[in-house]
């Protein structure tokens, strides 16, 4: 098993961060890691994602959303049909910070015999790839928060 855990502080409310994260149709405009998502966020739904590999190639995957808590958490899981061949468990969590804003947690746990046999570890995303998505989310959320309409309009 291989686990990557990252986080980033975002100076915007959870509702803004969640709105961006749950708007799958806009990923191609801002997300350098997950270049597209077809489907909608709902537990039990299989979605199709397009990921950028370190080589620059784009690959498709079809995970299922297994946990969703609006404005707080989303988790999707991909398993190949052959038991033990390959799994990818991606988690997003938004944590309120006492000083304002949120901390966005982003992790991925991968495993399976395919990783060993084909030496896919070198071709899988690393911490820097998850961090690049985190930075892009931060930028988009903070811009949206800074450019929100004044209260009462």
Kindly report, residue by residue over 93-135, the tens digit of the pLDDT.
Answer: 999 999 999 999 999 998 888 777 655 554 555 788 899 999 9
Q: Model pTM?
A: 0.88
Is residue 151 in some structural domain? no
Encoded tokens for 99: 């000083």
The CATH number covering residue 11 comes to 3.30.530.20
Domain range spanning residue 132? Answer: 2-146
With DSSP H G I counted as helix, E B as strand and the rest as coil, what are the percentages for the chain, rounded to 5? Answer: 30, 35, 35
Kindly report, residue by residue over 45-91, the tens digit of the pLDDT.
Answer: 999 999 887 777 888 999 999 999 999 999 999 988 888 888 899 99
Strand partners, 83: none
Structural domain count of the chain: 1
């Amino acid at each position: 098993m291989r686990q990557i855990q990252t986080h980033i502080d975002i100076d915007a409310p959870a509702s803004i961060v969640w709105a961006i994260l749950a708007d799958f149709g806009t990923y191609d405009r801002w997300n350098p890691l997950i270049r597209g998502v077809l489907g909608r966020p709902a537990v039990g739904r299989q979605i199709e994602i397009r990921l950028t590999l370190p080589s620059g190639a784009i690959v498709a995957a079809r995970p299922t959303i297994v946990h969703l808590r609006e404005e707080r958490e989303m988790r999707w899981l991909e398993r190949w049909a052959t038991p033990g061949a390959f799994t990818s468990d991606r988690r997003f969590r938004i944590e309120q910070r006492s000083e304002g804003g949120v901390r966005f947690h982003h992790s991925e746990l991968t495993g399976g015999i395919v990783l060993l046999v084909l030496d896919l570890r070198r071709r899988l995303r690393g911490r820097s790839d998850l961090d690049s998505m985190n930075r892009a989310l931060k930028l988009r959320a903070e811009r949206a928060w800074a450019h929100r309409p004044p209260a009462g309009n």
